[in-house]
Amino acid sequence: MDYPVFSVLPRHLAIIMDGNGRWAKQRGLPRSEGHKKGSEVFRKIGEYAGNIGIRHLTFYAFSTENWNRPENEVNALMNLFDSFLGEAIERLDENLEKGIRLRFLGDKNGVPAELRALMDYVEEQTKDCDKTFLNIAINYGGQQEITQAVQRIAQNVKDNNLKLEEITPELISSYLYTAEQPDPDLIIRPSGELRLSNFLTFQSAYSEFWFSDVLWPDFTEETLNEALADFEKRNRRFGGI
């Protein structure tokens, strides 16, 4: 495949994978089929983005609020995640050769124990990779992330390990799930919704946003190219002139 060349690429691209259920409903299919198709698109877009040179990728897979969905849908999503982890382990040598580091953003304590064990194993095996950083946000909530960070910072102040004047935005960032990674330059949300939905709440202060009516299962490499071409033209002033 011939890959396009962009003059500017986001260092960190984040995507809210939205619209799976509506895609399935439009076709008279169970919502689980939409999630299955969406997981295939995730693999395709993740690989493509890495190949064109985007180093940091974060995909919003499952929020803290998604547990409120019907039990059969939650089970289907967990089964898909289980399949992904199994595939990641099967392709471990390939991922290591490509330098892909896998990290899971969110509260692992809310995830079934057997999946937590697989998550920990994959993270440990790829921890020294440094070419592409692939983050999957699962049982993730931006407000929850900030709350947990503040609690840890407060405990360090209480224990006299940290002074109040040492608390800066940079310090707070170091307590987040995305510690040591740049904030997202570009956040993409398909499906026609125009909101963050509790995704990377702190990290998105200066992110560019790109919205599309395309449902996630219909999202293609060409759709991503369109978003990247738009990002390439933007003038990011970060509060300056």
pTM reported for the whole predicted model: 0.95
Query: Which alpha helices (H) appear in 52-185, and where do they start and end?
Result: 71-90, 92-98, 113-125, 142-158, 169-174
Q: How far apart are CA 2 and CA 162, in angstroms?
A: 51
Coil vs helix vs strand at 234: coil
Percent of the chain whose predicted confidence (pLDDT) is above 70: 99
Domains defined along the chain, listed by start: 17-233 (3.40.1180.10)
pLDDT of amino acid 241: 64
Residue 161 among the catalytic residues: no
The predicted model gives 104-113 an average pLDDT of 95
pLDDT in tens, 10-44: 999 999 999 999 999 999 999 999 999 999 999 99
pLDDT in tens, 211-229: 999 999 999 999 999 999 9
Q: Which of 20, 66, 130, 161 is labelled catalytic? A: 66
Residue 150 has pLDDT above 80, yes or no: yes
C-alpha of 235 from chain center: 24
Residue 120 among the catalytic residues: no
Residue 140 has pLDDT above 80, yes or no: yes
Coil vs helix vs strand at 53: coil
Q: Which of 18, 20, 95, 135 is labelled catalytic? A: 18
Residue 121 has pLDDT above 90, yes or no: yes
Q: How confident is the model at residue 235 (pLDDT cuts 50, 70, 90)?
A: confident
Which residues does 125 contact at the CB level (< 8 Å), separation at least 6? 92, 96
